[in-house]
Amino acid sequence: RRKEGREVPGGGSTLLAYMQAGMVAPAPAAGQENVEPSAAKTNAAVAIAAPMPLATEKKKRDRPKEVKCPRIVTETLGEEAGDPRVRTYVRGRPMGKGGFAVVYSMHDPSTGESFAAKVVAKSTLEKERARAKILTEIRIHRSVTNRHVVRFVRCFEDAANVYIIMELCSNKTLADVVKQRGCLTEPEAACYLREIVTAVSHLHAMRVIHRDLKLGNLFLTPAGLDEAGEGPGTDPALEMITAGGRLKIGDFGLACRLESEDERKTTICGTPNYIAPEVLAGSKGSGHSYEVDVWSIGVIMYTLLVGTPPFQTSDVHATYKRIRANAYEFPDKPSVSLGARDLI
């Protein structure tokens, strides 16, 4: 701020002040909105985008700095200096970790509510591109309200970190379910697919592309915690299957919003097993739009029914080659119906 001679509204040296005042942080250069394919591993209520280069190992200088979150986290509510109003959270267990953040459970003792908090160290936000990226994630996530999307609650910062407070999904992800059970039945997969399509349809109506749909970003919340109080549809059989939980999409770290329906993005981003061929083409292709989420939904459906992603190999470059050729097949067991195969 000193170097660029810019004043932050409210007199504070805060990253989020730009957003809170309606100011737009400088956007990344064209084609550089995000980063290369991620392979984040998390059990958090909101998964974290952990960008990884195409090379198998990152150089030491590229490794992210450690996130240090205090046991007691204080959010300042007053806008003026000296205002004593604060909200206090008690940090709980870590729920997931990615390249640039850690997700913790957070408890508000004043209300008894528990949340998930994505904690991003400010030391990782030194570059303008990184700051623009997290502000984009916050803007998009807070604008989306749907019963099948992890609820954005609030965001704030202190001297060391930026905190994104979200709904705590206290159940598993679909990745946990597949790991435990191997695969799902077609009625179960159909039910979850209906919820995924409902959420993604809502995102696309808002010109938002998620770009990182995968089992690990699909969170299950017990039905009793779902404020909507409704099932995914009118089929009683499907309603019974999901009586124990609802599906919610999380992690908007790679999401983008289109300026127009004709706009095409060229950023190479996503998770290797789920990434679409249009994304892999990057700037050499015609760009990508909503269809990349539809591709990922097909990969998700295959994985739910078979137990492994359709293009998975031991080498990421071989995986990309199979994706570009759309080279996959169905095993004899478990059996997948012709209708499900056609839909995939």
E strand or H helix at 114 = strand 113-121
- DSSP 8-state assignment for residue 43: -
Residue 139 CB partners (closer than 8 Å, separation 6+):
19, 257
Whole-angstrom Cα distance, residue 208 to residue 160? 30
Virtual torsion, Cα 276, 279, 280, 286, nearest 10 deg: 120
3-state secondary structure of 278: helix
Written as one letter, the residue type at 198 is T
Q: What are φ and ψ of residue 96, in 5° steps?
A: -175, 160
E strand or H helix at 14 = none
Annotated catalytic residues are 212
